[in-house]
Structure 1
Amino acid sequence: MAVLAGDIGGTKTLLQLAEHSSDGFVVLYEKRYDSRARATFLEVALDFINEAFIITNQRATSACFGVAGPVTARTAFTTNLPWTLDADDLQIKLGIEKVRLINDFQAAGYGIAELKEQDTVTLQVGNAIPQATQVIIGAGTGLGHAFLVWQGEYYEVVASEGGHADFAATNDLQIEFLKYLQTRYQWAHWERALSGPGLVNIFDFFVEVKHVQPSAEILAALSTGDKAAVISEFAINNKDKVAEQVLDLFIQIYGAQTGNFALLGMATAGVYVAGGIAPKIINKLSDGSFIRAFLDKDLRYQATLKAMPVKVVVHENVGILGAVLAASRL
């Protein structure tokens, strides 16, 4: 039985036709699209289905799409794209019997069950309590959060829009940054700091408020390339002192919010850090600064946090793994 799965992000959309076998899921056909180049998701999906049928001679009987944005009942709205998806409409127009829409981090949460040992990097070993709650958080184009709750046979994933909750500063520098965000935007939420655009906000804060001077090299690179990628690349390779300060503050805030979310979910079975940014800065995440910020809470809860396993997901397509799994359960 073939299933159609999708990971619909603010910059890219990955679609996959897959089927289940005794060895797990086998990918029959997949293709990546530039989300911003298409007017609607339906246009993308129809193109993919037609191409996939020509190549595989198979059609999906069920589909699940992970969407970067809130999902209400059977309708999804993409946060960083002008797309609206309706599951009932897609069932009819795609000719698929069952269609489910889930938040992209719900999809990533389902994908956790499909990960192999090499797909994660451990930041804190901890002492997992089997079948207790897990959480997943991840910065990329936006900031995703989801809870994983055991349901007797497998983990069910509960979506969250925690990235749009109010940003909370934990020290004087972060308070200055918070005030900067409040001046720059109507709302200062976590995604303003923990995302690709968030990295750029932190960089601008250091330049405009702290009056530090970036190198000519990074300014030239910023004028032509992806700003978040440039900042992280210069920081990781010690090519610019301002970029290094930016990444240090980013990691500090990332660790703090991951600790917050771990406590919100009492994630005693595990904390997973996913998203597009984490694999690119894995050495920095592993140097101890992230975990120090993660643990920097009320002393009464530090033992609880220390017992939680913390892992970085380095698999590039954990969301599509989860969407395939969710589609197979329809």
Structure 2
Amino acid sequence: MLVLAGDVGGTKTALALAQGGTIIERRVFPSAAYTSLEALVSEFLGQRGKEISRACFGIAGPVSEDSVRTTNLRWVVEARSLERTLRVPRVTLVNDFHALAIGITVLPASDLAVLNDSPSDPKGPWVLIGAGTGLGEAVVVHTGNGYEVIASEGGHTDFAPRNELEIDLLRFLLKRHERVSYERIICGRGLVALYEFMRGRSPEAESSAVREEIARSSGDAAPIISGHGLAGDDPLCTQVLSLFVSIYGAEAGNLALKVVARGGVFIAGGIAPKILPKLLDGTFRSSFVAKGRLSPLLEATPVKVVLNSDAGLLGAAALAARLAL
């Protein structure tokens, strides 16, 4: 049985053919280069649509009645339209973090990095949060038949500043946006916004070398900022990355509190593996556990980083395979 799996994001879309839970072919496409998901998948499949039994796509956006308007793309994706265009008997759409949650359940320990080493309650709910083009969140609860995934758009909740610096950050962002959510900060573009904010506070702190590097970056300054922040060779980038990770940890702690995530917290998305040394240096954990009277609860909550970039694809493939049973 051949199934088609997709992990559809605002920046890139990963597609895979899988058999028996194993990915046998995989390609990554720039999402914005295509007018629709149908066009992108058609290029990947060629003439192989009739060979595929089922398909499942994890898509960054809220799914309702087998349809989703993507959050960071101008796509409207409909399952029935995909079935007709691709000649696949059944297509299912789920939120990308729904697929990711299923994928996490099959990952080996070697695909996870530990940020907070505490015992996990095997019956407790667990959560995942991940920054990339946007900020995804989901909640997973145990049932008598396995797991129930509750997809969430929690990344779009209102940003809550914790100190004078973050209050100034909120004021800075309100000049650009009518409303400021966590996703405005904890994502690739958010990292750039933080750099611009911190540079505005101390213009003399920006090095000419980094400024010129950013000018040559074709509009994607986030890897430059994070790279220098990780290397510690530029004070401004180092401060920016620390602020980014601190706010990331605070929101992860907020999510854990909302469901008392005794089963653990998983940090996913494309950014986390790239900045893993910074996540491991204590900055993230310090903000994660700083919850006043509830700090002991967070200190006892396990936190792990998902290192496998194919976790969402694996989850989508598993869901597609279930549909064929």
- Alignment counterpart, residue 94 of structure 1, candidates 86, 97, 117: 86
Query: Aligned partners of 1:311, 1:51: CA distance in 2, in Å?
Result: 41
1:292 aligns with: 286
1:323 correspondence with 2:316: yes
RMSD: 1.3
Query: Aligned partners of 1:172, 1:155: CA distance in 2, in Å?
Result: 41
Query: Aligned partners of 1:323, 1:278: CA distance in 2, in Å?
Result: 21
Q: Provide structure 2 residue ranges, at least 5 long, that are not aligned to the other structure.
A: none
Q: Deviations over 1:116-143 (max 9, x none)?
A: 1110100111121112111000111110
Query: Aligned partners of 1:275, 1:212: CA distance in 2, in Å?
Result: 33
Q: Deviations over 1:131-158 (max 9, x none)?
A: 2111000111110001111122322211
Q: Deviations over 1:221-244 (max 9, x none)?
A: 111222111100011111211000
Checking the alignment, whether the CA contact within 8 Å between 1:110 and 1:156 is kept in structure 2 is no
Query: Aligned partners of 1:91, 1:151: CA distance in 2, in Å?
Result: 31
> Offset of 1:92 from its aligned partner?
2.1
Query: Aligned partners of 1:236, 1:51: CA distance in 2, in Å?
Result: 45
Q: Which amino acid aligns with 1:175?
A: I
- Alignment counterpart, residue 262 of structure 1, candidates 250, 256, 260: 256
Q: Deviations over 1:200-256 (max 9, x none)?
A: 110010112344421111111111222111100011111211000101111110110
2:213 aligns with: 221
1:252 correspondence with 2:246: yes
Q: Which amino acid aligns with 2:2?
A: A
**Residues 51 and 313 of structure 1: is their aligned pair in 2 closer, same or farther, counting only changes over 3 Å?**
farther
1:4 correspondence with 2:4: yes
Q: Provide structure 1 residue ranges, at least 5 long, that are not aligned to the other structure.
A: none
- Alignment counterpart, residue 170 of structure 2, candidates 174, 178, 193: 178
> Offset of 1:84 from its aligned partner?
0.8
- Pairs within 5 Å for 1:172-251: 172-225=164-217, 226-251=220-245
Q: Deviations over 1:45-94 (max 9, x none)?
A: 122222657xxxx8221111011122122101111111110011112222
Query: Aligned partners of 1:51, 1:229: CA distance in 2, in Å?
Result: 37
Q: Deviations over 1:230-289 (max 9, x none)?
A: 100011111211000101111110110000001112111010001111101111100111
Larger displacement relative to structure 2 (218-227 or 284-293)? 218-227
Query: Aligned partners of 2:127, 2:51: CA distance in 1, in Å?
Result: 34
**Residues 219 and 96 of structure 1: is their aligned pair in 2 closer, same or farther, counting only changes over 3 Å?**
same
1:107 correspondence with 2:99: yes
1:16 aligns with: 16
Query: Aligned partners of 1:152, 1:218: CA distance in 2, in Å?
Result: 54
Query: Aligned partners of 1:156, 1:94: CA distance in 2, in Å?
Result: 29
Query: Aligned partners of 1:316, 1:74: CA distance in 2, in Å?
Result: 25
- Alignment counterpart, residue 272 of structure 2, candidates 274, 278, 281: 278
> Offset of 1:35 from its aligned partner?
1.0
Q: Which amino acid aligns with 1:313?
A: V
**Residues 263 and 212 of structure 1: is their aligned pair in 2 closer, same or farther, counting only changes over 3 Å?**
farther
Normalised by the size of structure 2, how large is the TM-score?
0.95
> Offset of 1:319 from its aligned partner?
0.9
Checking the alignment, whether the CA contact within 8 Å between 1:231 and 1:243 is kept in structure 2 is yes
Checking the alignment, whether the CA contact within 8 Å between 1:17 and 1:52 is kept in structure 2 is no
Tell me the matched-pair count: 321
Normalised by the size of structure 1, how large is the TM-score?
0.94
SS at match of 2:288: helix
- Alignment counterpart, residue 64 of structure 1, candidates 56, 63, 73: 56
Query: Aligned partners of 1:174, 1:36: CA distance in 2, in Å?
Result: 32
- Alignment counterpart, residue 50 of structure 1, candidates 46, 49, 52: 46
- Alignment counterpart, residue 122 of structure 1, candidates 82, 91, 114: 114
1:82 aligns with: 74
